[in-house]
Amino acid sequence: MREILIYFSDNINNIILEVLKQNQGAKIEDNLQEIRIRINRPIILKLRDFDICINYIVTERDIMQTLEKLCQNSLYAYKKQISEGYITIQGGHRIGITGTGVIEDDKIVNLKYISSLNFRIAREIKGCSKKILKEIINLNENTIYNTVLVSPPGKGKTTMLRDIVRNISNGIEEISFNGKTCGVVDERGEIAACYRGIPQKDIGIRTDVIENVSKEKGILMLLRSMAPEVIACDEIGSKEDVQAIEKLTISGVKGIFTMHGRTIEDVKNNHEVNKLLEKNILEKIIFI
């Protein structure tokens, strides 16, 4: 929590610290999922079961001071990330950004008049995948099934994926599952939370990470250079993602992925992902 508060404007930092002092700070920190700040509206702390609405009206100055801290006083250096609508900071925490899009050649190249920031708290919960690992691991062949984890945003897909990779990489002695060489394509820096190339989260002893590249490019790079047995990546859905996954499976490598959705209909309604179902590439779909 403290490592996140340093990025806020001084006013917001002090106000949130005061709220923590008055309201069992440890309990709030343990359950905090998001901190949202919007110009001319109150600060909202989103916990697992309820929201805390702080009676402080966020100013444009608060937003700009916070953004400057996030970008280390160099907005230009973070232009690409801002144009994607998010910035990832040390610890794997992702800050969503909204504002007015700057369009060139039908592409968003920047955002101006930033109006909202959403700090999404990255958590490491070791053991959270224990119940579903038995559905993912194929003990007969000492490997895993090609699997996709499905849930709406904010329900813990990435946290679950990280813990699955950790277990697959380390191996699970109690069920005689040998550890696998894993590759993680960490496009947004949320799975391994690398800082200067070093993972800040525990993703296992046999795991290699490539970050800040598209899933398509990252999968192909891992296949060419790192001889993975399993590749994991977050939030699949595009044509390019699916084409790379098809190459992955043709190469004899297994994959575990996540995507947004609530039901099997949501999965099938994604035309590209549905191709993986039709070709029997996806062996397991797990809804969280």
Residue 67 has a pLDDT of: 92
> Does the pLDDT value for residue 279 go beyond 70?
yes
103 and 152 together in one domain:
no
Residue 40 has a pLDDT of: 97
Q: Say which range, 73-77, 85-89, 116-120, 219-223, has the weakest mean pLDDT.
A: 73-77
88-138 tens-digit pLDDT:
888 778 899 999 988 888 777 778 889 999 999 888 889 999 999 999 999
Averaged pLDDT score across all residues of the chain: 92
161 and 54 together in one domain:
no
110 assigned to some structural domain: yes
Contacts for 13-22: CB closer than 8 Å, 24+ residues apart: 15/43, 15/54, 15/56, 16/43, 16/45, 16/54, 19/45, 19/52, 19/54
Which has the higher per-residue pLDDT, 223 or 156?
223
Domain-terminating residue out of 85, 120, 155: 120
150 and 242 together in one domain:
yes
Query: What does the pLDDT average to over 174-182?
Result: 95
Residue 38 has a pLDDT of: 97
Residue 27 has a pLDDT of: 78
141 and 226 together in one domain:
yes
Residue 243 class from Cβ within 10 Å (0-12 exposed, 13-18 middle, 19+ buried)?
Answer: middle
114 and 134 together in one domain:
no
- Of all residues in the chain, what percent carry a pLDDT higher than 70? 99
234 and 277 together in one domain:
yes
Query: What does the pLDDT average to over 178-203?
Result: 90
154 and 273 together in one domain:
yes
103 and 135 together in one domain:
no
135 and 89 together in one domain:
no
pLDDT bracket for residue 58 (50, 70, 90): very high
Query: What does the pLDDT average to over 77-94?
Result: 83
What range defines the domain where residue 219 resides?
130-287
pLDDT bracket for residue 26 (50, 70, 90): low
235-264 tens-digit pLDDT:
999 999 999 999 999 999 999 999 999 999
Domain-terminating residue out of 120, 146, 173: 120
CATH classification at residue 7: 3.30.450
Count the domains in the chain: 2
> Does the pLDDT value for residue 220 go beyond 80?
yes
Query: What does the pLDDT average to over 150-158?
Result: 90
72 assigned to some structural domain: yes
Residue 34 has a pLDDT of: 94
106 and 139 together in one domain:
no
148 and 208 together in one domain:
yes
Domain-terminating residue out of 62, 88, 120: 120
125 assigned to some structural domain: no
> DSSP strand E in the chain: where?
32-38, 42-47, 51-57, 86-88, 94-104, 107-120, 137-138, 143-144, 147-151, 182-186, 194-195, 198-199, 207-211, 230-233, 254-260, 284-287
Query: What does the pLDDT average to over 81-85?
Result: 84
Residue 162 has a pLDDT of: 96
Q: pTM for the complete prediction?
A: 0.79
153 and 22 together in one domain:
no
CATH classification at residue 227: 3.40.50.300
Residue 25 has a pLDDT of: 63
